[in-house]
Structure 1
Amino acid sequence: MSASPPAAHPAPGRMSHREVLQSLTGLLMGMFVAILAGTVVSTSLPVIVADLHGDQTSYTWVITATLLATTISTPIWGKLADLLNRKLLLQLALAVFVLSSAVAGFSQDTTMLITMRVFQGLGGGGMAALSQIVMADIISPRERGRYMGLFGAVMALGTVGGPLAGGFITDAIDWRWNFFIALPFAVAAVILIQRTLHLPRFEPRKVRIDYAGIVLLSAGVSLLLIWVSLGGNTFAWASAATAWMVGGAVAALAAFVVVELKVPEPLISLKLFRNATFTLSVIASISVGVSMFGTAVFLAQYMQLARGANATQSGLMTIPMMAGLLVISTIAGALISKHGKWKGFVVTGSVLQAVGLFLLGTIHYDTNFVLVSLYMFLLGAGVGLVMQNLVLVVQNAVPQRELGVASSAVTFFRSLGGTAGMAALGALLAARVPELFAERSGQLQAALASLGTEGARIAQQFAGGTLPVVHELPEPVRGIIEGIYGDAVAQVFTVAAPLALATFLAAVFLPNLPLSTKTRHERVTEEKSAVGATAALASTPAVEPEAAVEQGTGLEDALLVRPQPMEEKPEGRRSGGGGEDG
């Protein structure tokens, strides 16, 4: 895409194209580090969990722990971004993320690994929230598409290159080196952010952190997600543990709502839910989270456990989904920037998301891989069209004073959907696999018996609940195991598919607001001017038109000024139905 030349005298708060590119350098490197550190282990997790003697529940929790921490921390980072130095917060989040990744490389058991994944999630929540907020600081909603190609290239390098590098490192060296690979890039990212990221200055605000809201939201969401993760396995759904977990979660979240209605700087402003764009985007984001996080994780298991791929091959086999997400979202971003039309892309994406999930629910271990690739591409394209555009339309529709909270709230609910979906679908998979083992126990016993001593060793491994390394199993057993996991993973996609219909309905009813051509700085200035003008008019004594003429105001000015407070109301318009652009 060709860039228009910078204006000779750019407006206050407006950066030239060259300045934007310079400021994005460090941000792009930081995003690359976060993506790389997260994806480099994705295809290696079955090997890692098996080497640490973990079971299916451990595998699920290695993923869920990161998502849980990301979910809880995202709104906290977003609120801090409205109050504190966003550049410093970005560097802090990056440091937490990468250092915890490095420590994870020394894990001796799944408990230590899960603990470090929690810290990864804390840093990852900051990167996810702050990157969106910083983009809004320097790029207007309408112009955002011009730069999506850069973000698409970085995401492609991280999401495709990470699993490939991780698979190669796991197969050729040792899986522990996957956690160290991002360190040199992290050092470069911190330096680049310090030197190149220049953000416009906003008027300082008194910092009032909602500590009670942080504690209550963390407790409520954690209890709820832990219950979803462990229910049906560690304890029965109808049990005392369920009663106190669900009851505690409901009580904590109810108290959170009460606190948010009273504190001066709420963690998540509940007034935002009066905005139709915000509310519908939240609903859509929840199911997008299930599609994005759940399918990526379970597709890796499908490739390795149902198709017998090793870590490197698994990375290559999931490229179609990433290609669909990155290529289609980049093209859509350019078209949105050019024409200013976004709703058709979001609705189309929601349809593709649902179709992709339904089709993936039909796969088996021996389904033609061309068909599997097509299904993955459709799903990736759908997620790519919906995910980033939901954040874009929310940033376009809310008051800019609350942009950080609103942006992180959408990301929070997407992570919440992904975490809850991951936990629930993981529990479903963990329950379904033993059932299929029991159904095919006769075939499996016969296959194991034919292998003699080797078969006895494999049977002992299965009895311990450890995930098998399928590509290392001998053929009679391998085919049965692939069939079991192929059918189990397909059922996961079948259950997830109806959730995509919620995204479609929300997308259809989203208010089709035009995208603003102004940066956050310009819109903040405009909003302050509008509020100040309204306040000045409200404090001015009403005068008769004749008196206005006598005072030198002019009859025409007096008649135009007096009705203005009734028409302006920028806050009310935005909160009522999405509002108008600044």
Structure 2
Amino acid sequence: SRVLQGIGMGMMITLTTVIMATIVSPRERGKYNGYMAASMAVSTVAGPLIGGLIVDTVGWQWCFWVPIPFVIVVMFVVAGRLKVPTVHEGKAHIDFLGIALIGAAAASLLIWISSEGRDFALDAPVSIALILIFVVSTALFVFVESRAKEPLIPLYLFRNRTLVLSIVAFVAQGIAMFSIAVFLGQYFQYGRSYSPTASGLMTIPLMLTMMAASTIIGRRTTATGYWKRYVMGGLAAMVVGLLMFWPVTAHTNLVYIGVAMAILGGGMGAGNTLMVAVQNLVGLKVMGAATSTVMFFRTLAGAMGIQLLGRVYQTHVRDDIVGQLGAMPETSGAGELDFAALPDPVEAVVRESYGRELGMVFVVMAAFALAGLIAVSFVKGTSLRSSVDLGQVKQILEQEDDIVDGRSHTITDGVSLDNARTSGAVSPEESPENKDDDGESSAS
């Protein structure tokens, strides 16, 4: 069941972004990306809220059944209304071997991270086997991709410094985005005794500011054509918001926590503009590969982040409880603490530990966000182009060199450079004489 959901969601997340890229230029895409990011922010944060309400009222199974009517409606709307121009004709060559190898590498790494030290020791045969599977699968994947006709992840993309630095930033963003809701939910439920529904309601400041920042910054990106200042500002706000959780305990004022969540949500919303910057670098032919590559690393980082941070959280909580009680309370058959069965003094100690140790997890997240901020600072902040495909811009800019040299006065399709700019093929911000987001003169 989860495999089928994963396949469907993987297709949806990538294709919605690629479809947007085929019909909207990067300059205009900033606005629409803001709308999409806002809806994603709402769904990401509202998921635990609605899920908690469902669990508290009708049972956890309904978390999987409730979305079905919405999906059916969307299927009919998309089938009847969505018209997308053909970008690539001909037979597609699916890189099945590459898919299998990268799946094996990712799965073995995640299993090792989540289980090492708990289910088996570092030097155990199963641990060594998982490490070997990861290393061999990764090496074979690189070899296969270098020879595949249509590789799953084109290796030449990694020759672009901006793309590589953007992936670093997306890794940091993914770790924070996927982990925050999980650990805030644990904090409110375990550390402060709130129900799943109330825990979801507590994250509303995070949801509102993320939605507002995504929409506002998206429109500002379209209006100005620049993105770097907003991404850096968003990542900086994330660092500040995450560090504000350092002193949090089980008794911290909820207003303070709400302010920290608001700052954090605003930073996450502003940072979503980075995807538009990545798509600004590539043409439509590799738009799907570039988009899915970035999203793969962000999703993988999010999954790894939850496992790693979960181990940090549980280890610190366990050490704190053992330090106060001398031993861990008995757990249920599933290995979870049954708070209702704990004596009141023991329950108080356990909840104190869950509240007090949250700060360490958010400090680790802040370190990753800071790494993303540093990576983006080395990216050249060029303005966003106003044409859908990169090839059109390259053609016009190359022809401009001919115009300057006096060799030609028209481009190949018979449109002059001035007319091309006027018609929107190239915006004034994309001209070589204009400045980029860093204030330096360059062509985007």
Say if 1:304 and 1:471, in contact at 8 Å, map to a contact too.
no
Say if 1:401 and 1:524, in contact at 8 Å, map to a contact too.
no
1:479 Cα deviation after fit: 2.0
Say if 1:393 and 1:515, in contact at 8 Å, map to a contact too.
yes
Give runs of aligned pairs for residues 463-502 of structure 1, distance below 5 A.
464=333, 466-468=335-337, 470=339, 475-502=344-371
Residue equivalent to 1:401: 285
Residue equivalent to 1:101: none
Say if 2:39 and 2:211, in contact at 8 Å, map to a contact too.
no
Residue equivalent to 1:547: none
Change (3 A) 1:402 1:148: closer
Match 1:416 to one of 293, 300, 303: 300
Match 2:53 to one of 168, 171, 181: 168
CA distance in 2, matches of 1:160, 1:220: 29
1:526 Cα deviation after fit: 6.3
Say if 1:152 and 1:327, in contact at 8 Å, map to a contact too.
no
1:465 Cα deviation after fit: 6.0
Match 1:146 to one of 31, 37, 57: 31
1:474 Cα deviation after fit: 6.6
Instruction: Return the letter of the residue paired with 2:380.
Output: P
Match 1:504 to one of 334, 354, 373: 373
Give runs of aligned pairs for residues 374-393 of structure 1, distance below 5 A.
374-386=259-271, 388-393=272-277
1:146 Cα deviation after fit: 3.2
Equivalent position SS for 1:514: coil
Change (3 A) 1:510 1:472: farther
CA distance in 2, matches of 1:319, 1:280: 31
Deviations 1:280-315 (A, max 9, x none): 111111111111111221111111011111011011
CA distance in 1, matches of 2:276, 2:229: 14
Equivalent position SS for 1:277: helix
1:239 Cα deviation after fit: 3.4
Say if 1:306 and 1:483, in contact at 8 Å, map to a contact too.
yes
Q: Does 1:344 align with 2:192?
A: no
Match 1:330 to one of 187, 208, 215: 215
1:124 Cα deviation after fit: 1.7
Match 2:309 to one of 425, 428, 436: 425
Instruction: Return the letter of the residue paired with 2:322.
Output: A
Give runs of aligned pairs for residues 267-278 of structure 1, distance below 5 A.
267-278=152-163
Residue equivalent to 1:119: 4
1:158 Cα deviation after fit: 3.0
Equivalent position SS for 2:145: helix
Most deviating of 197-206 and 213-222: 197-206
Match 1:371 to one of 256, 276, 286: 256
Match 2:246 to one of 330, 350, 361: 361
Say if 2:48 and 2:181, in contact at 8 Å, map to a contact too.
no
Residue equivalent to 1:55: none
Equivalent position SS for 1:560: coil
Change (3 A) 1:218 1:428: same
Highest CA radius of gyration, 1 or 2? Answer: 1
1:157 Cα deviation after fit: 5.0
Residue equivalent to 2:168: 283
Q: Does 1:299 align with 2:184?
A: yes
Match 2:75 to one of 176, 180, 190: 190
Deviations 1:61-114 (A, max 9, x none): xxxxxxxxxxxxxxxxxxxxxxxxxxxxxxxxxxxxxxxxxxxxxxxxxxxxxx
1:151 Cα deviation after fit: 3.0
1:252 Cα deviation after fit: 1.1
Residue equivalent to 2:13: 128
Where in structure 2 are there 5+ consecutive unaligned residues?
412-441
CA distance in 1, matches of 2:294, 2:229: 20
CA distance in 2, matches of 1:559, 1:485: 72
Equivalent position SS for 1:285: helix
Q: Which has the larger share of helix?
A: 1
Change (3 A) 1:311 1:474: farther
Instruction: Return the letter of the residue paired with 1:265.
Output: E
Instruction: Return the letter of the residue paired with 1:414.
Output: R
Equivalent position SS for 2:222: helix
Residue equivalent to 2:97: 212
Deviations 1:499-547 (A, max 9, x none): 1221111111111111011224xx456668999x9xxx9xxxxxxxxxx
Instruction: Return the letter of the residue paired with 1:164.
Output: L
Say if 2:108 and 2:133, in contact at 8 Å, map to a contact too.
yes
Change (3 A) 1:322 1:511: same
CA distance in 1, matches of 2:5, 2:376: 32
Say if 2:88 and 2:285, in contact at 8 Å, map to a contact too.
no
Deviations 1:261-280 (A, max 9, x none): 11121111111111122111
Equivalent position SS for 1:175: coil
CA distance in 2, matches of 1:156, 1:352: 16
How many positions carry a matched residue from both structures? 411
1:580 Cα deviation after fit: 5.5
Say if 2:317 and 2:354, in contact at 8 Å, map to a contact too.
yes
1:150 Cα deviation after fit: 4.0
Change (3 A) 1:124 1:472: farther
Q: Does 1:519 align with 2:408?
A: no
Match 1:560 to one of 407, 410, 421: 407
Change (3 A) 1:265 1:203: closer
CA distance in 1, matches of 2:404, 2:281: 31
Give runs of aligned pairs for residues 437-448 of structure 1, distance below 5 A.
437-441=321-325
Change (3 A) 1:507 1:125: same
Where in structure 1 are there 5+ consecutive unaligned residues?
1-115, 446-458, 538-555, 565-578
Say if 2:34 and 2:217, in contact at 8 Å, map to a contact too.
no
Change (3 A) 1:495 1:151: closer
Residue equivalent to 1:248: 133
Instruction: Return the letter of the residue paired with 2:384.
Output: L
Say if 2:321 and 2:349, in contact at 8 Å, map to a contact too.
no
Change (3 A) 1:174 1:234: same
1:558 Cα deviation after fit: 11
CA distance in 1, matches of 2:44, 2:255: 21
Most deviating of 321-330 and 190-199: 321-330
Instruction: Return the letter of the residue paired with 1:232.
Output: G
Say if 1:232 and 1:427, in contact at 8 Å, map to a contact too.
no
Say if 1:309 and 1:471, in contact at 8 Å, map to a contact too.
no
